[in-house]
Structure 1
Amino acid sequence: MSGIALTTPYLDTDADQLSFTLGWPAHEALAVRDLTVGGLAVQLRLLGASHQVFAGPVRETVACLPGVTGGLPNTAVRSFDNWTYRFTAHCEHLTAEDFTVRVEQIRSRADAHPRALYGIFPGFHEAVTALTVDRHATGLSWCTWHTYPQSRQIVATQTRLEAR
């Protein structure tokens, strides 16, 4: 899938503004992709330089949210019904050259992936939010990337949802 050229201005300026929540209601999305993966309904949602993933019992949001303190956990583990949910996040600060290479790798990976959604912001070809989802024997996993050209930061998250 090729990236979606978004028409919304790029507003997020720093990775530290992102927060993590579970169970947050659906926000107005810039783009949505509905999928069925491993028998589960999955919805990938782009929210500016942020995302929501709805998969089975999970509603994951990584975004700049009003009233929620910024900062992502390194890890989070929860139980939902008969599922185990594991979330990890890390932020890279890169040189200008490495940032450009890494953003191109993210875009290429999303382009080649059969279950991806990503957006590119106007005037900032390196401002990208990308999501991919994969099936595993016991569940699903998804990866996301949020790129910040001004600070040359990339926030990457990985989530695994496994049946117990």
Structure 2
Amino acid sequence: MDEILQAEVRPSRATAPFSIGGKGAESAIDTHSNTSWMVNLDGGKPPHLEATFPGPNRLVYVFITGMASQPVTSGAEQRPAKVLISVRREGTEGAFQNFPEVEVPQDPDRHGYYIGADNVTAVKLTILAPSSSEAKTVSMAGVQFTRR
């Protein structure tokens, strides 16, 4: 039933502890296919992006587009290959629930990952692995959400 009744829900904001090159977290949720959030891979904590909703939602899907429509300018910049999706529910005061990690195909298509979680107020996407072990930076072009 979730798939039949789903509708897009836009986050009110997106944040990330780090970004580079003027490519902040908001670029991943701006609905433009030629922009992306970009971050350095410095060997520390895995980079993450957090999208916050204006109120609680029954989150059905998280959609990730790994590649922007503009070509990558550097071989050192890569796309996410493995992402951990976590949700924060209303009333949990900052605690996130992790879902199984997902593999992001290396193509320009949008890929959906079923969540099916109630009372979601935020989603955190943690990049666990880039598309290449040689990557110095990683970027995520688009993130969309649907609710019921």
Task: Report the TM range for the smaller structure's normalisation.
Answer: under 0.3
Which protein has greater RCO, CA pairs closer than 8 Å, 6+ apart? 2
Structure in which a larger fraction of residues adopt helix:
1
TM-score normalised to structure 1 length: 0.26
